[in-house]
Homo-oligomer: A and B are copies of this chain.
Amino acid sequence: MSDETTPTGGTAGAVEQLAENTCWELLRSAGVSRLAVWVEDHPDIFPVNHAVDHGTVVFRTAEGTKLSAALADVPVALEADGYDAGTGLAWSVVVKGRAGRIGRAEELEATADLPLLPWQAGPKGVFVRIVPGLVTGRRFPVADPSVWRTALSDAHRAAPE
C-alpha cells in the first residue's frame, strides 16, 4: 500500500496563492476542517464538520463542551486541506474571522437545510457561524504524498451535495 515517492525537488517550493473563489470552492468540497480558538492561555484545535452558507462558514457543536464555552464572538481560524492525487498537489485554505452562536430563531431556521453533520455522533445543540474577515489559500506540491494524503476531498466529492 505504500506509495512513497522521492521528494519533488524539481518543483521545490512552488506555492500557488489561491483566489478567494477557489478557496470557497475547496471549502465546499471539504467536509471536515479544524477550528483554532484561544482557550484560557493557549490555542486549542477542534475538528469540526462545516458547511458553507452565503459567504460564511457554519458548524455544529454540543452545548456545554469546551469548544462551546470558548465561542463567544472571538477571533478564530478554520482550516481545511486536502490532496489531489490527479495533480499531485495539496491545498490548504484558512478562514479567519469571528465566531458567534446562531441564536435568533430565523437564523436557526435558515440553517436547517445546510448539509451540517456534527463532527461526532450525538446531540449537537449549538450552531456556530464564522463571519470571515480574511480567506486565504495555497496549493503546493507535497514532499511525500503517502504521508500527506487525506481522502477528505475525495470522500466529500462522492457525497451528495
Interface residues of A (CB under 8 A from B): 1-2, 4, 7-9, 11-15, 31-32, 34, 36-38, 41-47, 49, 62, 75-79, 81, 90, 92, 94, 96, 117-123, 140-144, 146-152, 154-156, 158-160
Contact = CB atoms under 8 A, between A and B. Distances in A.
Given A15-B120, A34-B34, A149-B155, 4 more contacts: A121-B142, A121-B143, A149-B152, A150-B152
Given A4-B160, A38-B38, A121 B11 contact: yes
Copies in the assembly, this chain: 2
Contacts of A47: 79, 81, 90, 92
A62 B147 contact: no
B49 A45 contact: no
Contacts of A75: 41-43
A117 B7 contact: yes
B158 A146 contact: yes
23 contacts: A4-B160, A7-B121, A8-B121, A13-B120, A31-B146, A31-B147, A34-B45, A36-B43, A37-B43, A38-B38, A44-B94, A44-B96, A47-B90, A49-B143, A49-B144, A49-B147, A117-B144, A120-B140, A120-B142, A120-B143, A146-B155, A147-B159, A149-B152
